[in-house]
Amino acid sequence: MELGHRVELKQRVTLSPQVYQGLSILAMPIADLQQLIEAEMLENPLLEVDEPEPEPLEADEARLESSEEERAWDEWLDMYDELDSNEFSAQRDPNEQAANTEEFVGGAVSFSDYLEQQLAMMDLTEEVEAAARAVIGSLDTDGFFRGDCGEVAALVGVSTKEAEEGLRVVQQLDPPGVGARTLAEALMIQMEFLGLEEPLLERIIADHLDDVAANHFRKISRALKVGEPQVREAVGLLRALNPRPAGAYSPGPSPGYIVPDVTLRRFDDEWLIIPNSDSVPTLRVSPRYRSMLRSGSEADDETRRYLKDKIRSAESFIKNIDRRKDTVSRITQIILEVQSEFFEDGKGPLRPLRLEDVAIEIGVHLSTVSRGVTGKYMATPYGLFELKHFFAGGYRTSTGMDIASTSIKQRLKELVAEEDSAKPLSDQKLAELLSAEGVTVARRTVAKYREELGVEPSWARRRR
């Protein structure tokens, strides 16, 4: 065997803890994010709130300000005063039902509920959705699917192909790796989510997980005919993945109040998206500590190393906070564009909007959009809404108009409210009435929506 050196160029994707920090920050409600920012500022003295002090104008510069600029500034202040007054004194429809503030109080969501909430925002056939819900019900405590697609098919009355499609749908949900049948499959799903393309790591996951657990790096090196340092580097990436997908989910404590992530304000015919900078302040690296790294500073080498580490940590944290703001704002912008009819007066119908559509539009993974809408709220002139409120599958009417399932539910609620209590409408009759209005909905879909609305079946609604 001849030994020799060889120069080889490779493109590698490194996985760092900052990636997971960014995903966690995106998934957090603002109340939890506030606590994280406070803890991070206590941990890292170089991190501080960016509060630039306005520089006083020189006397001669102040005199040069034109009267037009002064009037523009006064008009701007008047506009904000008007907004503040409208916030509390805007006239409301006297027939409009007062909002129930208890509905805005968040609570801890179970892992199954979290997954099913994501399903509700996807455009699925009834059969695939039923299969996906059955798969979710079969997950173990670590988030693995230990059942069989044939059993799922028999349980919900769908074909095996539809059951397998339901499993694939669950495997697209957040957290990455959920619904995997094996540890290797969970790790592969996470690699795909993170955009990792490492052939060596894929081979290790496929054939050598037991050797990794036993730290038999030399054995792996010989089996795959690569250097041991390469194996150790790949295993380092592997250990950054999560072997227990459900362990990445944490509902957090139940908040007693809701803080909006963004606020929508209307200026004439234009809408303005305002991130909540009061609750999520703009951060920066302290200029005083940064100046200690300049040449001529009296800081010793150990201090410089400490400062460099803290600066890198602070800059990474700031980027993740800014990325969260940007992602939520971009999702809000798409919601504003798609649901423009609703935002005209707060009463218009919602159009179908899917997580997949938004993911494609902003160029991110499906689970990133899921994290970006779950637990995030939007303050509007018409009330406070969770972003996922605007996501729903839909139907096409006989006239070719798209209508969201939320609008179907609202119409069902109205039909039940208008029915004769002595002869309540059956699910089949409700389906026929909707069909007469141009919306073809199956009877079992009506039954599902009725249950989600908390409406009893016709026999229970009959008054004697």
Q: Report d(CA 410, CA 345) in Å as an integer.
A: 17
The reported pLDDT for the residue numbered 192 is 84
β partners of residue 49: 283
Q: Between these two residues, 19 and 365, which has the higher pLDDT value?
A: 365
Residue 171 reports pLDDT greater than 70: yes
Residue 311 reports pLDDT greater than 80: yes
* Helical residues (DSSP H) of 241-353, grouped into ranges: 287-291, 301-338, 342-345
The reported pLDDT for the residue numbered 100 is 45
Residue 244 reports pLDDT greater than 50: yes
The reported pLDDT for the residue numbered 429 is 83
Taking phi over 0 as left and psi of -120 to 50 as alpha, with beta for the rest, 226 belongs to beta
The reported pLDDT for the residue numbered 191 is 84
The reported pLDDT for the residue numbered 93 is 42
pLDDT band at 212 (very low <50, low <70, confident <90, very high): confident
Cα 148 from chain centre: 29
Q: Quick check: 452 and 409 in contact, CB under 8 A?
A: yes
As a whole number, mean pLDDT of residues 17-35 equals: 79
Cα→Cα distances 113→109, 119, 136, 211, 262, Å = 6, 10, 9, 36, 25
As a whole number, mean pLDDT of residues 278-298 equals: 79
β partners of residue 392: 353
Residue 294 reports pLDDT greater than 80: no
Q: Quick check: 46 and 317 in contact, CB under 8 A?
A: no
Task: Specify the range with the lowest mean pLDDT, choosing from 34-48, 57-71, 352-366, 435-449.
Answer: 57-71
Mean residue pLDDT of the chain comes to 77
At 402, phi and psi to the nearest 5? -85, 135
Task: Specify the range with the lowest mean pLDDT, choosing from 283-297, 322-336, 360-374, 420-434.
Answer: 283-297
Q: Report d(CA 370, CA 384) in Å as an integer.
A: 19
Residue 360 reports pLDDT greater than 60: yes
Q: Quick check: 166 and 137 in contact, CB under 8 A?
A: no
Residue 354 reports pLDDT greater than 60: yes
The reported pLDDT for the residue numbered 232 is 87
The reported pLDDT for the residue numbered 393 is 60
Q: Report d(CA 354, CA 366) in Å as an integer.
A: 10
Q: Report d(CA 408, CA 296) in Å as an integer.
A: 70
The reported pLDDT for the residue numbered 86 is 44
pLDDT band at 5 (very low <50, low <70, confident <90, very high): low
The reported pLDDT for the residue numbered 69 is 52
Q: Quick check: 111 and 249 in contact, CB under 8 A?
A: yes
The reported pLDDT for the residue numbered 167 is 92
pTM of the model: 0.54
Cα→Cα distances 461→239, 425, 426, Å = 56, 9, 10
Q: What share of the chain is helix, strand, coil (3-state, %, to 5)?
A: 55, 10, 40
As a whole number, mean pLDDT of residues 68-83 equals: 51
My answer on whether omega of the bond before 29 falls inside 30° of 0, hence cis, is: no
pLDDT band at 249 (very low <50, low <70, confident <90, very high): low
Torsion of CA 414, 417, 421, 425, to 10 degrees: 20
Q: Quick check: 370 and 173 in contact, CB under 8 A?
A: yes
Q: Between these two residues, 190 and 51, which has the higher pLDDT value?
A: 190
The reported pLDDT for the residue numbered 105 is 45
Q: Between these two residues, 116 and 9, which has the higher pLDDT value?
A: 116
The reported pLDDT for the residue numbered 361 is 85
Task: Specify the range with the lowest mean pLDDT, choosing from 47-51, 179-183, 296-300.
Answer: 296-300
At 262, phi and psi to the nearest 5? -135, 155
Q: Report d(CA 182, CA 112) in Å as an integer.
A: 19
Q: Report d(CA 275, CA 259) in Å as an integer.
A: 11
Q: Quick check: 390 and 377 in contact, CB under 8 A?
A: no
Residue 456 reports pLDDT greater than 60: yes
Domains of the chain: 111-248 (no CATH), 262-390 (no CATH), 394-461 (1.10.10.60)
As a whole number, mean pLDDT of residues 121-140 equals: 86
Residue 118 reports pLDDT greater than 80: yes
Residue 275 reports pLDDT greater than 60: yes
pLDDT band at 85 (very low <50, low <70, confident <90, very high): very low
The model's pLDDT over 141-156, given as tens digits with 9 standing for 90+, comes to 888 998 888 888 888 8
As a whole number, mean pLDDT of residues 395-414 equals: 65
Q: Report d(CA 268, CA 360) in Å as an integer.
A: 31
The reported pLDDT for the residue numbered 331 is 92
Q: Between these two residues, 55 and 196, which has the higher pLDDT value?
A: 196
As a whole number, mean pLDDT of residues 313-327 equals: 90
Buried b (16+ CB within 10 A) or exposed e, 90-126: eeeeeeeeeeeeeeeebeebebeebbbbbbebbbbee
| Amino acid occupying residue 70 | E
Q: Report d(CA 413, CA 452) in Å as an integer.
A: 11
